[in-house]
Amino acid sequence: MQSRSLGSKREKAERLLRKHNLKVTVPRLSVLSVISEKETATSQPDLEKVLGKSVDRVTLYRVLNVFEEKGILHKIFDLHGTATYALCSEECPEHIHSEDHVHFTCSKCNSVYCLNEVTIPTIETPIGFRVDAVGINAVGICAQCQSKVN
């Protein structure tokens, strides 16, 4: 059964790449595999550690950039200014990230979570203004860190 679930994950990743007119390559599939398994956003240095020598730094950088451009990943900065990446919703259009959720950064472990169940309210602007993006970042202590304290 495990090989079937791995196959379906791979097939899903391949469909996602094809949907965005991207060539299916081992580095792209590897990056998608790692990011889709995480509950939190992942930084490039963390991806480098997990992927090891299977994907070199330059290729990883290019994969992350093209995924962000195509609306597959979105970038969130943690409390230290490090870029972290998380999967976009399927509705996220190419070149314009319409992430309609709050990002939560834990001040203890620095993990960044996408709170998909928390929506951002519509922003009413004065005439002549156009909103291109809205981002709300909440900072606090995540459930995992809180359970360590209690």
Cβ neighbours for 31, distance < 8 A, ≥ 6 positions apart:
47, 51, 55, 60, 63, 64, 67
Based on the structure, what is the number of domains in the chain?
A: 1
* Pairwise CA distance, residues 64 & 48, whole Å: 12
Q: Which pLDDT band holds residue 134 (cuts at 50, 70, 90)?
A: confident
Residues of the chain with pLDDT > 70: what percent?
87
Query: What is the rounded average pLDDT for all residues in the chain?
Result: 87
> Is residue 105's pLDDT more than 50?
yes
Residue 7 has pLDDT above 90, yes or no: no
Question: pLDDT category, 67, cuts 50, 70, 90?
Answer: very high
> For position 43, what pLDDT does the model report?
94
Token reading at 110: 């620095």
Range of the domain at 35: 2-149
Q: What CATH number does residue 25 fall under? A: 1.10.10.10
Record the pTM: 0.79
Q: CB-based burial of residue 123 (10 Å sphere; 0-12 exposed, 13-18 middle, 19+ buried)?
A: exposed
Examine the pLDDT at 84 and tell me if it is beyond 80: yes
CA–CA separation, 109 vs 93, rounded Å? 31
Cα separation, 40 vs 22, in Å, equals 25
**Per-residue confidence band for 21, with pLDDT thresholds at 50, 70 and 90:** very high
